[in-house]
Chains A and B, each alone.
Chain A
Amino acid sequence: EPEVTQTPSHQVTQMGQEVILRCVPISNHLYFYWYRQILGQKVEFLVSFYNNEISEKSEIFDDQFSVERPDGSNFTLKIRSTKLEDSAMYFCASSEVLGQGYGYTFGSGTRLTVV
């Protein structure tokens, strides 16, 4: 079964450093998403991406965050200057079809720890 692949599985970074989280969506999927889960809290929507641009973003997704699809296969989330509160599990997801009734395929997540 096709998978969404995320790397690394765990990243530790110093506060103020830039991090890039990488995702390889399913090859024929057109819609891409990032979600995050702070320990003990709900999974939260960050951003959706289609046709090389952001289609929706949450209040969390401020100027410190950016997304990119640099080469047609990878989908990245960059955090420019990490803060302690960015520590969370970050999930990438993709879907073939856009619409209310369709589920996504999620990756296994990257656990980001900011120290």
Chain B
Amino acid sequence: AQSVTQLDSHVSVSEGTPVLLRCNYSSSYSPSLFWYVQHPNKGLQLLLKYTSAATLVKGINGFEAEFKKSETSFHLTKPSAHMSDAAEYFCVVSVYNQGGKLIFGQGTELSVKP
């Protein structure tokens, strides 16, 4: 079975400092992994995706994530946080051979202090 675990339910950073949101996955197959972001009263927006190409994936708004098979991790990073980054972030895995079904982590709420 496939699953994802987000290691922090809440992360707080100061504006201009680095962001690290941690995600570990479990999969018997080569996984497809995603990060989605949800701003208040908005939909779930795709930040980036890993699909077995380059292990370092760049996404929108300066975010990137590195797929590390040896650590079964797919952590999301950003060098410098902006106030507009405050949102809920979800690490997601696509279920193998079930037509695009996604399994979500429990989410990490990112707060950015001025």
A95 to chain B, nearest CB (A): 6
A4 to B45, CA, bound (A): 11
- Judging by beta carbons under 8 Å apart, are A102 and B100 in contact? yes
**How many residues on the B side are at the interface (Cβ–Cβ under 8 A)?**
27
Instruction: Indicate if B108 sits at the interface (CB-CB under 8 A).
Output: no
- Whether A4 pairs with B103 at a CB distance below 8 angstroms is no
Contacts of B96 in A (CB 8 A): 100
Which residues between 19 and 37 of chain A lie within 8 Å of chain B, taking CB atoms? 31, 33, 35
Counting chain A CB atoms within 10 Å of each CB, the highest count among B43, B99, B104 belongs to B43
**Cβ contacts under 8 Å, A3 to chain B:** 43
Closest residue on chain A to residue B31 by CB atoms:
A100
B interface majority secondary structure: loop
The reply to whether B43 and A100 form a contact with Cβ atoms under 8 Å apart is no
Q: How far is the CA of A33 from the CA of B90 in the complex (A)?
A: 17
Min CB gap A41→B, angstroms: 8
A71-115 CB mask vs B (1 if < 8 Å, else 0) is 000000000000000000001010100111111111111000000
Nearest B residue to A48 by beta-carbon distance?
B99
Q: Find out whether the CB atom of B94 lies under 8 angstroms from the CB atom of A108.
A: no
- B interface, CB within 8 angstroms of A: 32, 34, 36, 41-46, 49, 51-52, 90, 94-107
9 contacts between A and B (CB under 8 A): A33-B100, A42-B106, A43-B104, A91-B43, A95-B100, A102-B100, A103-B34, A106-B44, A109-B43
| 14 new A-B contacts at CB < 8 Å, known A45-B101, A91-B44 | A4-B43, A31-B100, A33-B100, A41-B106, A42-B105, A42-B107, A44-B104, A48-B99, A100-B32, A100-B100, A101-B49, A101-B94, A103-B36, A104-B100
